[in-house]
A and B are shown apart, each in its own frame.
Chain A
Amino acid sequence: MKHIVIIGNGISGVTAARHIRKQKDYRITLISSESQYFFSRTALMYIYMGHMTYENTKPYEDWFWKKNRLELLFAHVEKVDTDTKTLHLDTGDNVTYDRLIIACGSKPNRFGWPGQDLEGVQGLYSKQDLEMLERNAPNNKQCPHAVIIGGGLIGIELAEMLSTRKIPVTFLVREKNFWGNILPPEDAALIEEHIREHHIDLRLSTELKEIEADENGRCRAVITNTGERIECQLVGLTAGVSPNIDFLKDSKIELGRGVKVNRYLETNIADVFAIGDCAEQTETSGKRRPIEAVWYTGRMMGEVVAQTICGRRTPYQPGHWFNSAKFFDIEYQTYGWVWPEPSENEKQLFWKHPSGKKAIRLAYDKNTKHLLGLNSFGIRIRHEVIDQWLTEKRKLSYVIENFKEALFEPEFFGTYKEDLRMIKNQFATV
């Protein structure tokens, strides 16, 4: 029987395993050194905040794996030998494979800042990181002040986490707007205001220069590029992630920033595939980036690679881009492309509710007038509808006229009548 081995039991590896199992009787092994069972990384913050237990974050009960004959190995792969199709584990054991799927995810970026390896300096990616955070910042007595470096999605999650334990946070963001490489300035401003409402000391256009150590080798303060010194007991490094591929350096698998793959998620070596955060596409589709470190692309790649492995060679062809996040209490969804600075041919419309907690931005083609993308804040949007409108290249006027169809708000959120009227009025004048 063919043996499929998957390095990584995150969303992409697990999805691949499940979809292979649906079709074939192959022997399937998932290897991970992070946790025995699959858990949801996206829920890490909720454990620290006391919304959920670690158990709650597991999407499948523990019996699921055995029942579906998915073998789990709790070990670290130290070396991959593609000539002999062998993996060398830290336990001293070897595992041989017929097909190998690399789904090893990411690790937090460290840009060589002085002091980045001190005690009390950490990223937030893995379960072990969360355990470390629990030691570094259990409460505001042991951690009277924290500094977070990098204004992205994980940074703001970390800020929210710490604030639930009443730990004062200074949040350093290099760009002049929060998440400025993704959000247009007005959108960012809405979030910045909300961040400050939660008593986070947000510093825009500010970079980390170095981290100062105390006599025990723990971080004591950070120094910014403006020369300011901020005392702190925790430094959260959340300036993005990159593929976690160090263990592949000595292998024959071609690496760039990630594991290089073609449209079929195949690497340069036969029978070796890569999916999820660690995969770097050599031919990207549309305006997508070569490395997409988000949950659902990992899931989709897992589905696709399963088709290929089960004998139906299938290219990875993601549809329209979408994503979502939650900034403290403001939910955010995005569909299609909305650039922080309108690209050529792109024009944008922006509506903000007087409360400052809701907003819609529409991007459209200024020549053909069809919809290019949408950002929404504090308003739930129906994925299916926008996806269809993007595919059908609906005109802006149609979108505005039928916007109600695109709402996914809970029942009785009647204020939306008013909002819709405002949206229509404002957009009609443009």
Chain B
Amino acid sequence: MSEYKIDHNMALTGEPPKSLDTWQKLAVLIGMSGLGILLLATLNINFPDKTLWLTISLSALATGILLFSYREYQGKSKGIKNDGVWFKSISSRGLWAWLSGIALTGFYIVLYFFPQYLGLNPDGENTGVISLFDPLSKVLSGNPASQWFVYGVLYTIAILAFGIKFLYKYRHNRYERLRTFSVMFFQTAFAFLIPELMLRLNNPDLPYYDLKNIWPLNYYNFEQYRVDQFISAGTIGIALLIFGVLSILVITPILTYKYGKRWYCSWVCGCGGLAETAGDPFRHLSDKSLFAWRVERWVVHSVLVFVVLMTTAVIYTYLGYDADKYWLNREFFLISVASGLTILFALIWYFKKDELEKDAKYGAVTYLAIILGLIVIHYLSGSNVFLFQAETLRSTYAFLIGAIFSGVIGTGFYPIFGNRVWCRFGCPMAAILGIQQRLFSRFRITTNGGQCISCGNCSTYCEMGIDVRAYAQKGQNIIRASCVGCGICSAVCPRGVLKLENGSRDNRINSDGVLLGNDVDLLDHIRDYDPTRSPRKE
């Protein structure tokens, strides 16, 4: 009475499609030599001609990735390329997955907490690997490199090179290609080139601003030093500040209403960009259990509450220090936040109460109570904002969420937990867009009549851990807060069951959807009997 043992046999005796050909081995070697140069530089080996060696290193990295991908998909007919995904050590939590997970995690820890080991020297000449990037940084912005510049370059190269791999892999699928071009463009232009050039061309006073990086993902956007910089940079600075506020309050809701959160999460965002390109080989590792979904909802919304509180506290605090410097009054600000949230909550409650699950209702009420409670306590006592000092909140957030969650766990653990751990469990931006997508959007994934064969490809390859099959096999549309609209479920479905669509909001949620095929009477009976809303509850 054994359960399936094949997975284990496979590793010992089988030779499933996982072997690398000679070219691919060469590609790995080239790529590794590129990394090797960076590593040697980190160990303070001095490279005489920095420009040359940096060029060699980065080209080797890119060449390695591209050659590898070319050999992987070349000569194969257009279509889904998932052969052997669960057999390869790197993509099935094998030895290579753990090694690269550990290496990546280590890299993030050094990057965030020990940049001096990378050679950062704010008081003089950089050394180590950071100094290798100095020439490039000087060309772009005129300044020496920082650890963030190094990171930015590597990040962009990863998105571009793995982006090309993805484009080749999905060459039959126009949706996938377009959105990959899009993330490649936004990363290169908005995250990398424009801010660097802005520093150089325009105004040294302007803060480094990646325009597509919207608060609350960009949790520090409204901190005092940045706001001061915006203000002192004159008109353009003020324009950028206003853009920052409009981004979250106006632009985001409109686009999400029209297209779902995908417009951001899988077409624009840099975190999403990396997840969709470099992270693509790990998408099937996401946890699909109902338990994981529950954890996800609590954690991601808690982060959202945290960032709202933190930002409110920070802004409130500095509005108090120099009251005459800002036109916004601190009391007015606090009251606006409180009433804004209350109105939002009331509207959702009034119009969408029936669509909320029980725990969503509890959660929403609890969180609103906490926020308002803290605001009231503060208002009455006039002491510390929100029980803690704003600065404590800020640094805790930056450490826990900004560094550990989004970097170390979010990216370092790609090969173990999948590529969207941060986006799913940690990103407050995704939480906002998700609430909106769930409640006020035209986006949905439609299922095609009775064609689903419950095979599970869709659920397996959903990077957000959505059990797509649970809906598809019942003929229900998939309307989930976390869906980033990557379109992969639709691509891998062997029966053409799923389609991402923006459409009328009538019948968007067909919770009593019935599969085609039975005669009409029977449909009526089943409708009567189906008391469930969530596909998991039976």
**Which residues on A are within 8 Å of B, measured CB to CB?**
11, 18-19, 21-23, 35-36, 40, 42-43, 46-47, 49-54, 56-59, 61, 64, 68, 74, 127, 130-131, 134-135, 138-141, 164-166, 194, 197-198, 295-297, 299-300, 303-304, 307, 312, 314, 317-319, 322, 324, 326, 328-329, 331, 333, 357, 380-384, 387, 408-415
Indicate if B250 sits at the interface (CB-CB under 8 A): no
CB-based contact B500/A36 at 8 Å: no
A382 to B521, CA, bound (A): 22
CB-based contact B16/A165 at 8 Å: yes
Chain B 507-538: CB-based contact to A (< 8 A → 1; otherwise 0): 00000000111110110011001111000001
A225 to B286, CA, bound (A): 51
Other-chain contact of B501, A127, A198, A387, A411 (Cβ < 8 Å): A411
Which residues of B from 2 to 52 have beta carbons under 8 Å from A? 3-7, 9-10, 13-18
A423 to chain B: closest CB distance in Å? 18
The 4 A-B pairs at the shortest CB distance, nearest first, are namely A383-B449, A329-B79, A139-B15, A380-B496
CB-based contact A300/B517 at 8 Å: yes
Indicate if B453 sits at the interface (CB-CB under 8 A): yes
How many inter-chain residue pairs (CB < 8 Å) link A and B?
216
Indicate if B174 sits at the interface (CB-CB under 8 A): yes
Indicate if B175 sits at the interface (CB-CB under 8 A): yes
Chain B 477-508: CB-based contact to A (< 8 A → 1; otherwise 0): 00000000001001110111001110000000
CB-based contact B517/A51 at 8 Å: no
A298 to B5, CA, bound (A): 28
Indicate if B77 sits at the interface (CB-CB under 8 A): yes
Q: Report chain A residues within 8 Å CB of B87.
A: 50
Given contacts A139-B15, A410-B491, 14 further A-B pairs with CB under 8 A are A36-B1, A49-B17, A52-B86, A134-B6, A296-B450, A300-B515, A317-B522, A318-B518, A319-B519, A324-B453, A326-B494, A383-B516, A384-B448, A410-B487
Chain B 454-488: CB-based contact to A (< 8 A → 1; otherwise 0): 11110110000000011001000000000000010
Which residues of B from 83 to 98 have beta carbons under 8 Å from A? 83-88
Indicate if B78 sits at the interface (CB-CB under 8 A): yes
A19 to B473, CA, bound (A): 14
A61 to B492, CA, bound (A): 21
CB-based contact A49/B83 at 8 Å: yes
B497 to chain A: closest CB distance in Å? 9
A333 to B449, CA, bound (A): 12
CB-based contact A412/B519 at 8 Å: no
| Chain A residue at minimum C-beta to C-beta distance from B179 | A412
CB-based contact B530/A22 at 8 Å: yes
CB-based contact A331/B496 at 8 Å: yes
A425 to B438, CA, bound (A): 42
| Chain B residue at minimum C-beta to C-beta distance from A14 | B454
A61 to B289, CA, bound (A): 7
CB-based contact B6/A40 at 8 Å: no
Q: Report chain A residues within 8 Å CB of B178.
A: 412
Q: Report chain A residues within 8 Å CB of B491.
A: 410
CB-based contact A410/B174 at 8 Å: yes
A297 to chain B: closest CB distance in Å? 8
A319 to B449, CA, bound (A): 12
Q: Report chain A residues within 8 Å CB of B77.
A: 194, 197-198, 328-329
A396 to B448, CA, bound (A): 23
Chain B CB count within 10 A is highest, among A35, A333, A383, A409, for A383
B463 to chain A: closest CB distance in Å? 14
Indicate if B290 sits at the interface (CB-CB under 8 A): yes
A413 to B491, CA, bound (A): 12
- Contact status of A296 and B13, CB under 8 A, knowing A23-B529, A54-B3, A331-B495: no
A381 to B500, CA, bound (A): 14
Indicate if B82 sits at the interface (CB-CB under 8 A): yes
| Chain B residue at minimum C-beta to C-beta distance from A15 | B473
| Chain B residue at minimum C-beta to C-beta distance from A21 | B538
CB-based contact A51/B448 at 8 Å: no
- Contact status of A164 and B499, CB under 8 A, knowing A18-B538, A21-B538: no
CB-based contact B515/A134 at 8 Å: no
Other-chain contact of B174, A295, A304, A357, A412 (Cβ < 8 Å): A412
Indicate if B317 sits at the interface (CB-CB under 8 A): no
Q: Report chain B residues within 8 Å CB of A56.
A: 284, 456, 459-460
Other-chain contact of B531, A22, A47, A383, A387 (Cβ < 8 Å): A22
- Contact status of A164 and B84, CB under 8 A, knowing A139-B14, A317-B519: yes
Q: Report chain A residues within 8 Å CB of B86.
A: 50-53
Q: Report chain B residues within 8 Å CB of A68.
A: 538
| Chain A residue at minimum C-beta to C-beta distance from B519 | A317
Q: Report chain B residues within 8 Å CB of A131.
A: 4-6
Indicate if B218 sits at the interface (CB-CB under 8 A): no
A307 to B521, CA, bound (A): 11
Other-chain contact of B518, A49, A52, A319 (Cβ < 8 Å): A319
CB-based contact A318/B519 at 8 Å: yes
B120 to chain A: closest CB distance in Å? 43
CB-based contact A138/B13 at 8 Å: yes
CB-based contact A410/B175 at 8 Å: yes
Indicate if B63 sits at the interface (CB-CB under 8 A): no
CB-based contact A50/B13 at 8 Å: no
Other-chain contact of A59, B449, B454, B501 (Cβ < 8 Å): B454
Q: Report chain B residues within 8 Å CB of A51.
A: 80, 82-83, 85-86, 457, 460, 492
Chain B CB count within 10 A is highest, among A51, A318, A329, A380, for A51
A198 to B515, CA, bound (A): 35
Chain B 418-461: CB-based contact to A (< 8 A → 1; otherwise 0): 00000000000000000000000000000011110111110110
A413 to B487, CA, bound (A): 13
Indicate if B116 sits at the interface (CB-CB under 8 A): no
Indicate if B173 sits at the interface (CB-CB under 8 A): yes
CB-based contact A312/B525 at 8 Å: yes
**Cross-chain pairs A/B with CB under 8 angstroms, 17 sampled:** A19-B526, A46-B455, A46-B456, A49-B82, A54-B6, A54-B7, A59-B469, A131-B5, A138-B14, A164-B83, A296-B515, A312-B525, A319-B518, A324-B451, A380-B448, A410-B487, A411-B500
Chain A CB count within 10 A is highest, among B16, B87, B531, for B16
B91 to chain A: closest CB distance in Å? 9
Q: Report chain B residues within 8 Å CB of A328.
A: 77, 79
A329 to B491, CA, bound (A): 11
B59 to chain A: closest CB distance in Å? 32
Q: Report chain B residues within 8 Å CB of A74.
A: 1
CB-based contact B175/A412 at 8 Å: yes
CB-based contact B538/A52 at 8 Å: no
A18 to B474, CA, bound (A): 12
A141 to B495, CA, bound (A): 33
B174 to chain A: closest CB distance in Å? 4
Other-chain contact of B454, A11, A319, A412 (Cβ < 8 Å): A11
Q: Report chain A residues within 8 Å CB of B517.
A: 296-297, 299-300, 318-319, 322
CB-based contact B451/A322 at 8 Å: yes
A288 to chain B: closest CB distance in Å? 12
CB-based contact A300/B518 at 8 Å: yes
A49 to B16, CA, bound (A): 8
CB-based contact B85/A50 at 8 Å: yes
A307 to B524, CA, bound (A): 12
Other-chain contact of A329, B18, B80, B525, B529 (Cβ < 8 Å): B80
- Contact status of A408 and B456, CB under 8 A, knowing A21-B538, A319-B517: no
CB-based contact A40/B519 at 8 Å: no
A166 to B15, CA, bound (A): 10
CB-based contact A307/B525 at 8 Å: yes
A317 to B530, CA, bound (A): 20
Q: Report chain B residues within 8 Å CB of A331.
A: 494-496
